[in-house]
Amino acid sequence: MNGDWLIRGRDGRLGAYAPREEAVWCWAEQHPGGAWSAPRTVGGDQRVHPALAVGQGTDDYAHLVSWRPTGGQESGLVHATHFRPHLAALDWNPLGHPNKKGEATGVPAVTVDAQGRAHVFVPNRGGGVSMRGQKERGGWGPWRDLKGREVEGELAAVTRASGLVELYAASPAGILRWTQLGPGHIPALDEEPLKVAARPGTLRALTTSEEHVTLFFTDETDTVCAWRAGSEPVALLTCAGPGPVSAIRCTLDGVDCTLLAQRSLSGRVAFAAYPTERESAGAWWTESGPQLPSDVQLSLAHDHEDRVTAATLQPTTGQLLLTRRKEEPGLALEAWHTI
């Protein structure tokens, strides 16, 4: 999965998404803060591959993107919009293939601009990235080749506070970055990559202020690094485990903080928080919850009371675990429980 798959819907209820059994499943609270309903499939009856990208706009609608089989070994991308957790999502809308036809080319990414238009990114057969975006008055624009070379691992798509879209990707040459110059513009690739050795599959982008996006990645020394364009990357802390971090902004004891979470080598979930954009303050991991399988997925969100909520999902069994921050100082968490 790519993106924050645990999200708070427009009505305040939390929902979680995951690809399972040739479909996309959704778990949802029956009411904000209440018990959860049994999972159900969303997006119509079409079969989809076990790959899912989730994005959310300022209108709180969820945008889902996956691959579906189209015959033989070929596949095509599909998109659906989910307005509220207990409403049926729109049927899958075909987006086609970045190379017109062929096999799936990689895990997609999706983010939503200030006008509510989804931007879908996916690696293409040439080793670069292609994009297709929604039009302002409905429908979709054409597939566009955004260039780039030797892209590896999952893409990291994000929307800035200004509503403009950015994309990041790892490559042997370093981290590639695409940015929009204005609403509706095609994201353009920076002339030079950030020359760092970022491990593919570890990129996570988070809007951390009106001016900045912070990109988190793991380097070849097993260090989680933070980078904002226009400055040098900062080594933040040794990674807790091999996978990407999840990240969210939250207020802890009256301070605007960035909270990171990652499955640790012990199998538990590790959390670390520090004042937003003040990496020099330092951060330390604290582990929580039970030991989890190596393929577990992790996501962070705010609930209807704006409390930090963490969820883990085991893809093979569909087991969903959840915890929330307690109403007390610091980052004390409730006991993890099964949904």
For residue 69, the model assigns a pLDDT of: 96
The answer to whether residue 43 scores a pLDDT higher than 90 is no
Q: Do residues 102 and 125 touch, judged by C-beta distance below 8 A?
A: yes
The residues near 298 (Cβ < 8 Å, ≥ 6 apart) are 243, 246, 261, 262, 263, 269, 310, 311, 312
Residue 66, helix vs strand vs coil: strand
Does the pTM surpass 0.75? The reply is yes
Q: pLDDT tens, 114-171?
A: 999 999 999 999 999 999 999 988 899 999 999 999 999 999 999 999 999 999 999 9
Residue 84 is predicted with a pLDDT of 79
Q: Structure tokens of 115? A: 């006008």
| Type of residue found at 289 | G
- Report in angstroms the alpha-carbon separations of 316 from 54, 76, 107, 293, 319: 19, 24, 18, 10, 8
Largest CA distance in the chain: 56
Residue 45 has pLDDT above 90, yes or no: no
Query: Pick from 128, 296, 154, 270: which is nearest to 215 by CA?
Result: 154
Cβ density class 161-171: b for 16+ within 10 Å, e for less: eebbbbbbbbb
Q: Nearest-CA neighbor of 40 among 5, 91, 109, 89?
A: 89
Q: What is the dihedral of CA 25, 263, 62, 252, to 10 degrees?
A: 140
DSSP 244: P
